């Protein structure tokens, strides 16, 4: 029999008979290895383990502890879930069921309604199917045969998908009585599934189009082992405890009222104060770095948005209104007003760089299905800036922005990753300008010695960008800062400065945010800190708690003194037990509870307790003020 040479990823080689499957080779290498391998990669292409080896190739083994391995495991688990649902709920039609980050989902068309009580039943049925060690069997059939197969089963969604495919042949997978349209690869059999959990139910329009039927989506997750699953479920529980929408209500920070409109935030006093603290910090830091604070109007003429390219590339996210003389648009971005300010007079090379900063409110027409607390809204404020500079200043300016990002992330206690997003399909500008802009970003980030990844095709329509993803206390990543390099809009708006030679020169524009949108950043902060903000950020830094009504007069003096010294303080002078007042203050996550009784009044002191339960020694008001201010300074420095 003809033999072939298989080169394994560790560099070793094996001679096997032609037609030997990857599974046979794996078994020959040992049982411990076989238990962990779920698929193979032949010359870079993922394949099932039962794929025959027909010629000499390079072979990698895909294990459960790899990203590809987990995705394959989760995809197989989604098939088993769909199989279980069809067994339990007659008349169900299936649509799609992919693996996603940290799990999987499957969308179903069912006349009834799935409820959370159904999830344990589905898990039990899945356990039965898994115990049967059902193999996943790949078949390749003609498109016509596949259409007939799914038509006979009444699976109209699969038929619709098939009719749009140009593939020939079509791959399907069978596992027991369940058959699905799928490219694969898949786990060899259901016995590979050892740790899974169904998580939630949601609605989802077929193909994400609200004009289509609403389907029911069941989310789940799967891991290679029970310990990893339990760790993940523990993180989910912690995330639910930290959910900014829940804490926003409990801490009385903000609300979103349907009477006002979806995606529109109502800041309550404490939330508005938190936002003000962040805004004041930002303004001070930007002024210190040579930025000029500017403000632009909320609406601008339609013609400007046509010139900028927003109308062509961003129209579906914009709001429009008519004023006497014509059509206007609510601004979705701040850059146009900043360019008009630059154009308001002749600029010299001596004026550059010019850095305009605005806490600019913008509006975007987000679909209701993607709105999510503070994290996705329709009206929000960006810490937006636009730097206009000469080409030879570009490198220093980009590095200056990167340094500002690093400083801010330290202050708020975030780790972060950086990626460069390149030219998208919908874009404006010349190839040369895109190449110059991308090269400028790459050089600056490499000059700083920072690691980065490439995010192909995700740049802004007018230029490439550096995106900063911050990591919160639960290890989740959030889009934050962005640095966008733009040669195109200065050209479209005919921006120029007078160079050393007395000629007109075209500036380069950097669009940038540091924390991104205030709404999203505040939502992330709430979850990152679990609502227990560091003292410098806490809307209320201390609360005065009286033991008896006799102490109110002295407590009022302390209250006024703390306010005069810039401490954000509240008072609880109710005729209630001290223990109740302390517990309520702890639930509101106030950093310091300041107890005042007869002893404190007689000694002109206060007795601070921390929200973690630590009892501090009695101290003078002036000493407490100094302690808090020193703590705030240390927090901001670290």
Q: Is there a single domain that holds both residue 20 and residue 144?
A: no
Condensed to tens digits (0 to 9), the pLDDT of residues 72-96 reads: 999 999 999 999 999 999 999 999 9
Percent of the chain with pLDDT over 70: 99
The enclosing domain of 51 has a CATH number of 3.10.20.30
- Overall average pLDDT of the 23-29 stretch: 81
End-to-end Cα spacing for the chain: 69
pLDDT at 33 over 80: no
Q: Which one of the listed residues 41, 158, 436, 465 is annotated catalytic?
A: 465
Return d(Cα 163, Cα 142) in angstroms, integer. 12
pLDDT at 36: 83
Token readout for 244 is 């900014």
Band of pLDDT at residue 210, cut at 50, 70 and 90: confident
Does the residue 26 lie in any domain? yes
pLDDT at 637: 66
Return d(Cα 214, Cα 195) in angstroms, integer. 30
Q: Is there a single domain that holds both residue 85 and residue 136?
A: yes
Three-class HEC string of 467-484: EEEEECCCCCEEEEEEEE
The enclosing domain of 161 has a CATH number of 3.30.980.10
Return d(Cα 612, Cα 459) in angstroms, integer. 44
- Strand 292-293 with 354-363, pairing: parallel
pLDDT at 391 over 90: yes
Token readout for 202 is 């949601």
Helix H or strand E encompassing 47: strand 45-47
Virtual torsion, Cα 629, 630, 631, 633, nearest 10 deg = 90
- Overall average pLDDT of the 315-330 stretch: 91
- Overall average pLDDT of the 287-309 stretch: 95
Q: Is there a single domain that holds both residue 481 and residue 556?
A: no
Is 384 noted as a catalytic residue in this protein?
A: yes
Q: Is there a single domain that holds both residue 457 and residue 563?
A: no
pTM: 0.81
Q: Which one of the listed residues 180, 383, 384, 486 is annotated catalytic?
A: 384
Nearest to 524 by CA among 480, 481, 588, 483: 480
Condensed to tens digits (0 to 9), the pLDDT of residues 106-147 reads: 999 999 999 999 999 999 999 999 999 999 999 999 999 999
User: In terms of pLDDT, which residue wins out, 523 or 314?
Assistant: 523
Is 364 noted as a catalytic residue in this protein?
A: yes
Nearest to 416 by CA among 513, 515, 275, 485: 515
Three-class HEC string of 557-606: HHHHHHHHCCCCEEEECCCCCHHHHHHHHHHCCCCEEEEECHHHHHHCCE
**What is the phi/psi pair of residue 286, to 5°?**
-75, -40
Return d(Cα 231, Cα 197) in angstroms, integer. 12
Band of pLDDT at residue 156, cut at 50, 70 and 90: very high
pLDDT at 638 over 60: no
Is 382 noted as a catalytic residue in this protein?
A: yes
pLDDT at 614 over 80: yes
Does the residue 302 lie in any domain? no
Q: Is there a single domain that holds both residue 456 and residue 406?
A: yes
Return d(Cα 29, Cα 348) in angstroms, integer. 72
Q: Which one of the listed residues 335, 389, 485, 632 is annotated catalytic?
A: 335
Does the residue 322 lie in any domain? no
pLDDT at 32: 66
The answer to whether the Cα torsion of 512, 389, 445, 488 is positive or negative is positive
Q: Which one of the listed residues 338, 376, 386, 469 is annotated catalytic?
A: 386
Does the residue 602 lie in any domain? yes
Return d(Cα 461, Cα 455) in angstroms, integer. 14
Burial of 419 (0-12, 13-18, 19+ CB in 10 A): middle
pLDDT at 199: 94
Q: Which one of the listed residues 275, 355, 364, 512 is annotated catalytic?
A: 364
- Overall average pLDDT of the 266-284 stretch: 97
Three-class HEC string of 105-116: EEEEECCCCCCC
Token readout for 160 is 């619709």
Q: Is there a single domain that holds both residue 131 and residue 195?
A: yes
**Helix 269-288 to helix 394-412 angle, to the nearest 10 degrees?**
140
Q: Is there a single domain that holds both residue 204 and residue 117?
A: yes
Condensed to tens digits (0 to 9), the pLDDT of residues 366-384 reads: 888 788 999 999 999 999 9
Is 511 noted as a catalytic residue in this protein?
A: yes
- Overall average pLDDT of the 157-173 stretch: 90
Is 432 noted as a catalytic residue in this protein?
A: no
Q: Is there a single domain that holds both residue 115 and residue 146?
A: yes
- Overall average pLDDT of the 493-501 stretch: 95
- Overall average pLDDT of the 329-356 stretch: 96
**What is the phi/psi pair of residue 55, to 5°?**
-155, 170
Q: Is there a single domain that holds both residue 486 and residue 597?
A: no
Q: Is there a single domain that holds both residue 478 and residue 547?
A: no
- Overall average pLDDT of the 529-543 stretch: 96
Q: Which one of the listed residues 382, 393, 484, 541 is annotated catalytic?
A: 382
Residue 572: Cβ within 10 Å count? 19
Is 389 noted as a catalytic residue in this protein?
A: no
Condensed to tens digits (0 to 9), the pLDDT of residues 174-192 reads: 999 999 999 889 999 999 9
Beta bridge partners of 17: 3
Q: What's the chain's average pLDDT?
A: 92
Tell me which DSSP letter residue 506 carries.
P
- Specify whether the CB–CB gap between 363 and 310 falls below 8 A: no
Q: Is there a single domain that holds both residue 33 and residue 140?
A: no
Q: Which one of the listed residues 511, 568, 571, 589 is annotated catalytic?
A: 511
The answer to whether the Cα torsion of 524, 530, 535, 541 is positive or negative is positive
Band of pLDDT at residue 578, cut at 50, 70 and 90: very high
pLDDT at 460 over 70: yes
- Specify whether the CB–CB gap between 420 and 441 falls below 8 A: yes
User: Of 21, 38, 63, which residue sits at a domain end?
Assistant: 63
Which residue segment(s) compose the domain that 520 sits in?
264-296+332-529
- Specify whether the CB–CB gap between 388 and 490 falls below 8 A: yes
pLDDT at 441 over 80: yes
Percent of the chain with pLDDT over 90: 78
210 contact partners, CB below 8 Å, separation of at least 6: 367, 369
User: Of 44, 63, 82, which residue sits at a domain end?
Assistant: 63
- Overall average pLDDT of the 450-476 stretch: 90
Does the residue 249 lie in any domain? no
Number of domains in the chain: 4
- Strand 326-330 with 354-363, pairing: unpaired
Q: Is there a single domain that holds both residue 44 and residue 178?
A: no
Is 386 noted as a catalytic residue in this protein?
A: yes
Does the residue 31 lie in any domain? yes
Does the residue 323 lie in any domain? no
User: Of 495, 529, 563, which residue sits at a domain end?
Assistant: 529
pLDDT at 404 over 80: yes
The enclosing domain of 572 has a CATH number of 3.40.50.800
Ranges of H-type helices in 47-103: 67-88
Residue keyed to tokens 């075209």 = 506
Condensed to tens digits (0 to 9), the pLDDT of residues 212-257 reads: 899 999 999 999 999 999 999 998 899 899 999 999 999 999 999 9
Does the residue 304 lie in any domain? no
pLDDT at 31 over 60: no
- Overall average pLDDT of the 197-207 stretch: 91
Burial of 77 (0-12, 13-18, 19+ CB in 10 A): buried
């Amino acid at each position: 029999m003809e033999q072939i040479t298989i080169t394994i990823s560790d560099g070793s080689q094996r001679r096997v008979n032609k037609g030997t499957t990857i599974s046979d080779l794996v078994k020959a290498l040992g049982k411990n290895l076989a238990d962990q391998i779920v698929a193979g990669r032949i010359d870079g292409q993922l394949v099932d383990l039962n794929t025959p080896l027909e010629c000499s190739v390079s072979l990698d083994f895909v294990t459960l502890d790899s990203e590809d391995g987990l995705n394959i495991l989760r995809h197989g688990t989604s098939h088993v879930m769909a199989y279980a649902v069809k067994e339990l709920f007659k008349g169900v039609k299936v649509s799609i069921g992919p693996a996603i980050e940290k799990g999987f989902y499957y969308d179903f068309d069912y006349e009834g309604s799935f409820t959370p009580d159904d999830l344990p039943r589905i898990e039990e049925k899945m356990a039965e199917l898994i115990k049967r060690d059902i193999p996943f069997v790949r078949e390749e059939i003609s498109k016509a045969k596949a259409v007939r197969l799914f038509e006979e089963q009444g699976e109209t969604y699969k038929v619709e998908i098939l009719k749009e495919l140009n593939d020939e042949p079509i791959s399907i997978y069978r596992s027991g009585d369940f058959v699905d349209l799928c490219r694969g690869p898949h786990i060899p059999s259901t016995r590979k599934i050892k740790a899974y959990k169904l998580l939630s139910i949601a609605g989802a329009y077929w193909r994400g189009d609200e004009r289509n039927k609403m389907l029911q989506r069941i989310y789940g997750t799967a891991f290679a082992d029970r310990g990893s699953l339990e760790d993940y479920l523990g993180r989910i529980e912690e995330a639910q405890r930290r959910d900014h929408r829940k804490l926003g209500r409990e801490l009385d920070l903000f609300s979103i009222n349907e009477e006002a409109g979806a995606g529109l935030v109502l800041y309550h006093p404490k939330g508005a104060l938190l936002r003000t603290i962040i805004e004041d910090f930002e303004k001070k830091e930007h002024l210190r770095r040579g930025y000029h604070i500017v403000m632009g109007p909320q609406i601008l003429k339609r013609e400007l948005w046509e010139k900028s390219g927003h109308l062509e590339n961003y129209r579906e996210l914009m709001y429009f209104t008519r004023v006497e003389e014509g059509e206007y648009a609510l601004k979705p971005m701040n850059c146009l007003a900043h360019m008009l300010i630059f154009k308001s007079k002749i600029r010299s090379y001596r004026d550059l760089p010019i850095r305009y900063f605005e806490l600019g409110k913008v509006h975007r027409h987000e679909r209701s299905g993607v709105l999510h607390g503070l994290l996705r809204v329709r009206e929000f404020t960006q810490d937006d800036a636009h730097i206009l500079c000469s080409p030879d200043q570009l490198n220093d300016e980009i590095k200056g922005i990167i340094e500002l990002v690093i400083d801010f992330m330290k202050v708020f206690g975030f780790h972060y990753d950086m990626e460069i997003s390149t030219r998208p399909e919908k874009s404006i500008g010349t190839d040369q300008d895109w190449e110059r802009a991308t090269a400028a970003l790459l050089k600056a980030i490499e000059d700083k010695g920072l690691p980065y990844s490439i995010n192909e095709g995700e740049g802004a329509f007018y230029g490439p960008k550096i995106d900063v993803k911050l990591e919160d206390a639960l290890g989740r990543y959030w889009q934050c800062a962005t640095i966008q390099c733009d040669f195109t809009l200065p050209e479209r708006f005919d921006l120029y400065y007078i160079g050393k030679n007395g000629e007109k020169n075209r500036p380069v524009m950097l669009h940038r945010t540091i924390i991104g949108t205030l709404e999203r950043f505040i939502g992330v902060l709430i979850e990152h800190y679990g609502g227990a903000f560091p003292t410098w950020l806490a809307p209320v830094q201390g609360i005065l708690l009286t033991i008896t009504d006799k102490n109110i007069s002295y407590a009022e003096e302390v209250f006024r003194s703390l306010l005069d010294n810039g401490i954000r303080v509240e008072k609880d002078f109710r005729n209630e037990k001290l223990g109740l007042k302390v517990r309520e203050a702890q639930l509101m996550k106030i950093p310091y509870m300041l107890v005042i009784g007869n002893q404190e009044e007689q000694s002109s002191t206060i007795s601070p307790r921390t929200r973690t339960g630590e009892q501090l020694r009695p101290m003078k008001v002036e000493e407490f003020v100094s302690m808090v201010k020193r703590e705030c300074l240390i927090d901001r420095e670290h």
